[in-house]
């Protein structure tokens, strides 16, 4: 076997092992967790803010934010009332199970009902690194264009729910919803889809219902 292939396989199996540990930790503390992935600017932090408005104070929600730099997103989650931890990946373009483990260690898991992980904005490698969360969510947004399922199939294949954000922009942008959904259906036929707008609030109730049902 090629040495580089062996190295990559070892890294991936170490990640799988740690992801399983994280899942056990979360299950042990009875914390439902989701991993939110998307390209930069799709609205991950905005969706988290809008979700917190409804979830808090009925639920204790924590947010772990992964970013290459700054704590802007964790500051926003904290301002919205969540326990928030920022993980700076130091240039890495995705979160992995080690980083999540470090984030979990900073939280009072026994007093948390739900954990929302905001992954680094990137449509490629986050899908390859299981973190140990219970559900994976992808946010697409109207300005990114209707061809994204066709261009980033791995991302669409591996998730449990898909949010289509910024639907308030549909009148202004050439985005063919049927073409988009057709691409999604080929890759992930049973995927739950939530078209919504964090700006206007349209479509948010269905998403929140899914989130609260766990
Ligand atoms: Mg963000
Ligand atoms: Zn990466």
* Residues across the chain: 214
Fold of 3-213: Rossmann fold (3.40.50)
Q: How confident is the model at residue 208 (pLDDT cuts 50, 70, 90)?
A: very high
100 Cα to the center of ligand 1, angstroms: 16
Q: Tokens 């076997």 belong to which residue?
A: 1
> pLDDT tens digits, residue range 91-131?
899 999 999 999 999 999 999 999 999 999 999 999 999 99
Ligand nearest to the CA of 117: 1
Give CA–CA dist 214/209, Å, rounded. 9
Q: Is 23 exposed, middle or buried (0-12, 13-18, 19+ CB in 10 A)?
A: middle
131 Cα to the center of ligand 1, angstroms: 18
95 Cα to the center of ligand 2, angstroms: 7
78 Cα to the center of ligand 1, angstroms: 13
How many Cα atoms within 13 Å fall on the side-chain side of residue 130?
A: 17
CB 68 within 8 A of CB 93: yes
> pLDDT tens digits, residue range 16-46?
999 999 999 999 999 999 999 999 999 999 9
Is the pLDDT at 67 greater than 70? The verdict is yes
pLDDT, position 113 = 97
128 Cα to the center of ligand 2, angstroms: 9
84 Cα to the center of ligand 1, angstroms: 13
| Model pTM score | 0.94
Q: How confident is the model at residue 214 (pLDDT cuts 50, 70, 90)?
A: confident
Ligand nearest to the CA of 84: 1
pLDDT, position 31 = 98
> pLDDT tens digits, residue range 156-182?
999 999 999 999 999 999 999 999 999
Instruction: Tell me which residues have their CB within 5 A of the ion that is ligand 2.
Output: 93-94, 125
Is the pLDDT at 7 greater than 90? The verdict is no
205 Cα to the center of ligand 2, angstroms: 32
Q: How confident is the model at residue 198 (pLDDT cuts 50, 70, 90)?
A: very high
Q: Which residues have C-beta within 8 Å of that of residue 190, sequence separation ≥ 6?
A: none
pLDDT, position 12 = 81
Domain residue extents for the chain? 3-213
pLDDT, position 1 = 61
Ligand nearest to the CA of 122: 2
Phi then psi dihedrals of residue 138, to 5 deg: -110, 135
């Amino acid at each position: 076997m090629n040495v580089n292939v062996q190295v990559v396989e070892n890294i991936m199996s170490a990640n799988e092992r740690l992801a399983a540990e994280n899942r056990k930790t979360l299950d042990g503390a009875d914390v439902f967790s989701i991993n939110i992935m998307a390209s930069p600017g799709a609205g991950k932090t905005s969706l988290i803010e809008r979700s917190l408005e409804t979830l808090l104070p009925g639920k204790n929600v924590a947010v772990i934010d992964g970013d290459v730099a700054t704590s802007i997103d964790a500051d926003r989650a904290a301002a919205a009332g969540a326990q928030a931890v920022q993980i700076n990946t130091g240039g890495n373009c995705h979160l992995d199970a080690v980083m999540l483990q470090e984030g979990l260690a900073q939280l009072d898991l026994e007093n948390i009902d739900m954990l929302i992980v905001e992954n680094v904005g990137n449509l490629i490698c986050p899908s390859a690194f299981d973190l140990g969360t219970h559900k994976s969510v992808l946010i697409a947004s109207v300005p990114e264009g209707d061809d994204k399922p066709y261009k980033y199939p791995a991302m669409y294949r591996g998730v449990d729910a898909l949010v289509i954000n910024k639907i308030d922009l549909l009148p202004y942008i050439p985005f063919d919803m049927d073409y988009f959904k057709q691409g999604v259906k080929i890759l992930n036929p049973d995927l739950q889809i939530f078209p919504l707008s964090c700006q206007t609030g349209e479509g948010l109730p269905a998403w929140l219902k899914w989130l609260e049902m766990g």
